[in-house]
Structure formats: C-alpha cells, structure tokens
Structure 1
Amino acid sequence: MDETHKTSGSKFLIVTLLNVVITIAEFIGGLVSGSLGLLSDALHNLQDTLSIIIAYIADLISGKKNDAAKTFGYKRAEIIAAFVNASVLIVITVFMVVESINRLGSPQRIDGKLMMIVAIVGLVANFISMLILFSGTKNNLNIRATFLHMLSDTLSSVGVVIASVFVTLFNWTWVDPVITIVIAIWLLKEAFDVIKESTNILMESSPEIDLEEVQSTLLEIPEIVGIHHVHIWMIDENYCILDAHINVQKNLNLSELDEIYSRVGNLLKEKFNISHVTLQAECDRGLDKPLIE
C-alpha cells in the first residue's frame, strides 16, 4: 500500500471512532431531551459511520495495482463509494425534511439545556472530523463525499445549538425542525453535485476539456495533418484517458512515429492533464472523418 492510502486510511479510522462516540451521545441526548434535531443528527452520524467504513474499504481497494482482471486498476471503487454515500445522504435528508414537517404540525416538549450540551459536544467532534478530511477533498471524490457527510453533521450541530438557545430562552420549539429543514435543503444540493460527478465518471462521460482545442493543439505538430475517432474519458477524478487516430505525413519511419507519440503525450499532459494517451497513426484512411464518430 502506498503512503497516500496509508495516510487516508488513518484519517478514516480516526473519523470513524469520533463518529461512534457522537452517535451514542446524540441518540441518548435526543431521546432524553426530546429534540428532533439531536435525533436526526444521531441518525446522520450513524449513517456517517457506515459511510466512512465504505469509503475506507473503497480506499483500500483503489490502492491495488493493475492486474489481468482490471487492466485499468481499481480506482473506480472510490467513485462507486462516493455515489453510494451521496445517494444514502439524500435519502436520509429527505427523511429529515418529512419528520421536521410532521414535527411542525405537532410540537413536542424539548429540554433545551440538555439539547445544547449534547449538540456542542457533537459540534466539536464533527468539526475535528471535518478538519481531518479537508486536505483530501480537492483530489479525491471518495474523501469529498465523506467530508460532505462530516460537513453536514457540523452544520446540523450548529443548527441544533442555535435551536437550543431559542428553546431555552423563549420555548420556541418550532425552531428545531425549521433549522433542520434549512440545513437539509442545502445538503440535497451538495449531495446531488457528488452524484452528478460520480455518475459522469461511471458513464465514461467526457471531462470538461475542449476537444476542438485538443485538435488544434495536436495539429500544431507539423507531421500531424488530421485527427479523428477521438474518445476521452476518466477512470477517476484525477486520471484522464484519450484514445484517437491521427493522420500523419507519408513516409515517416517507426522511430519518427515514436517521437510524435511522445510529443503528443507530453503536450496533452501539460496542457490538459491527460494522463494516458493511446494513438493509432494513419496516412489517408479516415482523413475525411470527423473528430467524433
């Protein structure tokens, strides 16, 4: 296992332990105080613990080397985990909204002081978990999906703390479900973004790369006179692949083609961050073909 996966593995372990503690505290606190916010937060944390375990297993699988069964490796295990975790988050968030609406119609007595104490404990632990995962969110969709769970719980805890103040000072029990609804709406948007990105990768959609610009870049190489039959997709959010046929000048020898392939690979890596390039050289065949076919 490489150093990156060892580091992410230790992060997942610490965050898992923190979430187990938070879940137990908030379940007990929610039942005793009568706070829907605490109970929904506890449910969130319970699911988060499972999602972190899923993310960690996916992280281990993605670190396996390429083999005959998976020639592109196991990197998409993390994309699948991100999709599953974001989907589950949407289900739980919808459940929170429904329960909050029901609670607005039939307010219940809430122990504001106990609600505040437990919520502050949960807030601190969730914030620590969020900080632990933050560094990996830019380059890893799996960690980003898990971080989103932690962020959702942190915001939920903030909401519960705010609600507990109003419950304690003014006995405004309706603030508890209202804040839950507001946070849930924001979470739905964030979770849909993760689902959209992970689905695009799983469906081998083209990344946000201008293919016309790719074409013009390659045609700057004098020996290349055309490009067609282009396919571009992503294995994960960091590993982009391009497959294409290029038309080259006639009478080039094999060593000259090797040099062209190297130049193309370097150009695409530097300008578009395309990691893996497969080219088929042709002379006249396909010269009249479009870029995409």
Structure 2
Amino acid sequence: MPHDHAHAHLDPQSGDRRVSAAIWANALLTVAQIVGGILSGSLALVADALHNFSDMASLVIAFAARKIARRSADARMTFGYGRIEIVAALVNYTTLVVVGVYLVYEGAMRLVDPPEVAGWTVVILGGVALVVDSITALLTYSMQKHSTNIRALFLHNLSDALASVAVIVGGALILLYDLRWVDPAITIGIALYILYLALTEIGGPIRTLMLGSPPDMDCVAVIDAVRAVDGVDDVHHVHLWQMQEHEAALDCHVVLTDAGWWRIEAVKGAIKDLLRAEFGITHSSLEFESLHHAHRDAPLFGHGPVTGG
C-alpha cells in the first residue's frame, strides 16, 4: 500500500556517497567494456556495456532526484519536485527499449555471419564487470530495503552481474570450441532481457504521469469506506492519484445527510482520519454538498458535466 513509506535508514549524505561511488564504478566499467568490445570484436561485451551504461544513467537519475526531491514546494512547483524522478525514469526506460531493439537487430545480423572474437578479452572484461556489478549491488543493498527507487537500482545491478556471467561463459566457449555464434546469441539474450526489464517497469512511470490511481490501492474500497462514514450519503467526482511515488492523494465531492451537514467539521475530520489510517492518504481535498443541493447525475470518477441541485 502507498502508506508503507520507504525511507532509507542511512542519512542523506551517506546514501548520496554510496550512490556516487556506484556511478563512478559503472562509468569506468562501461568505458572499459566498450573499448574492449570494439578491440575484441565482441558484440556481447558491447551489449553488456550498454546495459551497464543504462544502469549508470539510472544511478545518475536517482542521485539527482535524491537531491532535487529535497527541495520544498514553491510558486513554480506547488506539488514539489518529487516527480522529476518519474519523468527521468520514463526517459530512461524508453532509451532502454531503443537500445534493446538495436542490439537484437545487430545480434541477428552477426548470427548470419559471425565475426572473429578475441575470447580472452571477453573473459577478462566480463570478470571485471562481474566484480564491479557485485560491488555496486553491495553498495545499494542496505538502502534498497527501505527505498523502492534504490531497490530498482539494486535489482538492475544484480541482473548485470548475471549478464556478466553469461558473457564470461560465452568467451570461454569461444576459447575452447571456437563457437563464434555464441557471442551474438548471448547478445540477443542480453537484449531480450533488457527489453523485458524496460517493458515491465515502464508502465509504473506512465501510470503515475497519467495521474492513475495507485496500482496497489483498491479505489472501490476507498470509496466504500468514505460512504460508510456517519453523516455521508454519497460521493462523486472522485480523483485518486499519486502525487509522488509514495504519496497518494484524493479529492472528491462528498454529499452529506441533514445530520452530517450540521456537523460538517466533525465529518470532515472523520473522513481525513479514515483516509490516513486505513489507506495512507495524507493529502485529501473534500468539497461538501448538502443532500438537498447535490449535483444530479454526477459521475463517480472524473470531472464530467453535471446539473445543479
């Protein structure tokens, strides 16, 4: 549920230093793998490098977002700056999709005519990548327990470590048996895995930016709970969305009974307490209407046209 807020136990500066160290490690590894991949003729090594580069980009996004998200809301950004991470994540996942499709195409072309590949270079750089990916995963391991964003980075680096194992195996097979088709085959496998990660995770940022309701919150249950509050007759024009990754918000029109109308402040307090305690909704905007002057034929969701009471 969105009210299970995830906050790292590390102080912000310590967390920033860990993410910064992971960024530099992945940057150096990416450069080494690209150079090694070009010199050795290994497309699999280049594919793994691009995957590492995407993880480095994710780390940069997380690092910048950690900094910017601490800024308070102002006249320009009245909801605050937390959504910059979501926008950047969408850009990152879109780039991953493009990279994945390109690598599948290049791998398929090389399967037709496999080039010579320097197996030792592939094995050595694959081993270096495995060490760096493992270190990066360890740097973010304790942080990922309390942050959804950092957990995504941890899982990416863990998957990179597995991809590096595949690259090492491919290089060994080339050395032992001269199976040149293994390199482009592994490239396609890594690319398909990149596409799988991107396509399965891109829906979250899109849903949030589209002001969709929190995916792990039962919107109908929220409405039923508000309707059950003493003094409430009905609700309409309901908007339930995520202001930020872990911050759900609700605004709606609440129709009150005659008894509820006379104690409107008490009913409002009861609704807000319910939303906070049961659903973790700490931001709610409620517009109250008397039962005798409520909108007629108002839609339950959205802000469609209504007729006055």
Same fold? TM cut 0.5:
yes
How many angstroms apart in 2 are the aligned matches of 1:229 and 1:142?
32
Q: 1:243 aligns with which of 220, 240, 251?
A: 251
Aligned residues: percent identity? 35
Residue of structure 1 in register with 2:238 after alignment? 230
Query: How far 1:253 moved relative to its partner?
Result: 7.1
How many angstroms apart in 1 are the aligned matches of 2:148 and 2:191?
21
- CA 1:40–1:189: 2 relative to 1, 3 Å: closer
How many angstroms apart in 2 are the aligned matches of 1:79 and 1:8?
19
- Over residues 59-95 of structure 1, what are the superposed CA-to-partner deviations in whole Å (9 max), with x where a residue is unaligned? 3212211112211111100101111111111111122
Is there any run of 5+ residues in structure 1 with no aligned partner, and where? none
Residue of structure 2 in register with 1:178 after alignment? 185
How many angstroms apart in 2 are the aligned matches of 1:144 and 1:82?
14
AA at the equivalent of 1:156: A
- CA 1:228–1:47: 2 relative to 1, 3 Å: closer
Q: 2:170 aligns with which of 157, 163, 167?
A: 163
Length, aligned pairs only: 291
Is there any run of 5+ residues in structure 2 with no aligned partner, and where? 1-7, 303-309
Residue of structure 2 in register with 1:264 after alignment? 271
- CA 1:4–1:244: 2 relative to 1, 3 Å: farther
Query: How far 1:10 moved relative to its partner?
Result: 2.0
Aligned-residue RMSD, C-alpha = 2.5
Matches within 5 A, 1:132-147: 132-134=139-141, 142-143=149-150, 146-147=153-154
AA at the equivalent of 1:21: L
Matches within 5 A, 1:105-124: 105-124=112-131
Structure 1 window deviating more from structure 2 (122-131 vs 5-14): it is 5-14
Query: How far 1:137 moved relative to its partner?
Result: 5.2
How many angstroms apart in 1 are the aligned matches of 2:146 and 2:188?
30
Tell me if 1:292 matches 2:292.
no
Q: 2:26 aligns with which of 19, 33, 38?
A: 19
How many angstroms apart in 2 are the aligned matches of 1:178 and 1:43?
16
Contact 1:152 1:187 in 2 (8 A): no
Contact 1:82 1:145 in 2 (8 A): no
AA at the equivalent of 1:53: V
How many angstroms apart in 1 are the aligned matches of 2:139 and 2:290?
54
How many angstroms apart in 1 are the aligned matches of 2:15 and 2:295?
46
How many angstroms apart in 1 are the aligned matches of 2:74 and 2:160?
39
Contact 1:55 1:81 in 2 (8 A): no
AA at the equivalent of 2:270: R
How many angstroms apart in 2 are the aligned matches of 1:136 and 1:205?
27
- Over residues 208-253 of structure 1, what are the superposed CA-to-partner deviations in whole Å (9 max), with x where a residue is unaligned? 3333322221222221111111111112221110001112232557
AA at the equivalent of 1:229: H
- CA 1:195–1:151: 2 relative to 1, 3 Å: same
Contact 1:159 1:180 in 2 (8 A): no
- Of structures 1 and 2, the one scoring higher in RCO (CA 8 A, sep 6+) is 2
Query: How far 1:9 moved relative to its partner?
Result: 2.1
Query: How far 1:32 moved relative to its partner?
Result: 3.3
How many angstroms apart in 1 are the aligned matches of 2:278 and 2:106?
50
Tell me if 1:92 matches 2:60.
no
Residue of structure 1 in register with 2:40 after alignment? 33
Instruction: Find the residue that maps to 1:235 and give its secondary structure.
Output: strand
How many angstroms apart in 2 are the aligned matches of 1:257 and 1:7?
47
Contact 1:107 1:174 in 2 (8 A): yes
Residue of structure 1 in register with 2:3 after alignment? none
Structure 1 window deviating more from structure 2 (164-173 vs 281-290): it is 281-290
How many angstroms apart in 1 are the aligned matches of 2:147 and 2:198?
15
AA at the equivalent of 2:208: I
